[in-house]
Structure 1
Amino acid sequence: MRTDDDSWDITESVGATALGVAAIRAYESGQDDALFQDPYAAKLVSAVGSDGWNNLMSGMRNLGAGEQGGDDTDLRGWSMGSVLIARTVYFDEYFAAAVRAGIRQIVILAAGLDARAYRLEWPSGTRIFELDQPKVLAFKARALADDEPGADRREVAVDLRQDWPKALLDKGFEPGEPTAWLAEGLLRYLPGHAQDKLLEQVAELSAPGSRIALNLGTDKDMADQFRERRAKVMADAGVKIDLENLFYP
Structure 2
Amino acid sequence: MTGSTTGSTAGSELPTGVSLTAVGIAVGRAVESDRADALFRDRHARAFVDACGAGAVAGMGAFSGYVAIRTRFFDDYLLGAARRGRRQVVLLAAGLDTRAFRLPWPPGTHLFELDLPALLAFKEDVLAREGATASCRRTALAADLREDWAPALRAAGFDPAVPTAWLAEGLLPYLSTADNDLLADRIGRLSATGSELALDHLDSETRRGSLAGTSDALDALGASWLSTLDDPAGWLAGHGWTVRDAPARTALLQRYGRGGAAPAREADRPSGLASAVREA
1:21 to 25, 36, 44: 25
State whether structure 2 residue 36 is matched by structure 1 residue 32: yes
- The counterpart of 2:150, out of the listed 146, 160, 165, is 165
Counterpart-to-counterpart distance in 1, 2:46 and 2:95:
14
1:19-168 superposed matches below 5 A = 19-48=23-52, 50=53, 52=55, 78=62, 80-145=63-128, 146-168=131-153
Alignment partner of 1:187 is 2:165: no
Give secondary structure in 2 for the equivalent of 1:242.
helix
Q: Choose between structure 1 and 2: higher strand proportion.
A: 2
- Shift, 1:128, TM fit: 0.4
Deviation of the 1:220 alpha carbon = 2.2
Shift >4 Å, 4+ stretches: none
Any idea what the Cα deviations from partners look like across 1:172-225, whole Å, max 9, x if unmatched? 101111100000010111111110010011011001110000011034255432
- Give the conservation status (yes or no) of the 8 Å contact 2:17–2:223: no
Unaligned segments of structure 1, at least 5 residues: 1-8, 57-62, 65-74, 235-239
Matched with 1:11 is 15
Counterparts of 2:110 and 2:223, CA distance in 1: 35
**1:246 maps to which of 224, 236, 254:** 224
Give unpaired runs (5+ residues) of structure 2: 1-12, 228-280
Counterpart contact for 1:117–1:151, Cα < 8 Å = yes
Give me the CA root mean square deviation. 2.4
* CA 85–97 in structure 1, closer or farther in 2 if over 3 Å, else same: same
The whole-number CA distance in structure 1 between the counterparts of 2:181 and 2:73 is: 24
Q: Which residue of 2 aligns with 1:227?
A: 212
Scaled by the length of structure 2, the TM-score of the pair is 0.71
CA–CA distance in 1 between the matches of 2:206 and 2:142? 36
Distance 1:218 1:206 in 2: 26
Could you tell me which amino acid in structure 2 is paired with residue 193 of structure 1? A
Q: Percent identity over the alignment?
A: 41
Distance change (3 Å), C-alpha of 1:21 and 1:245: closer
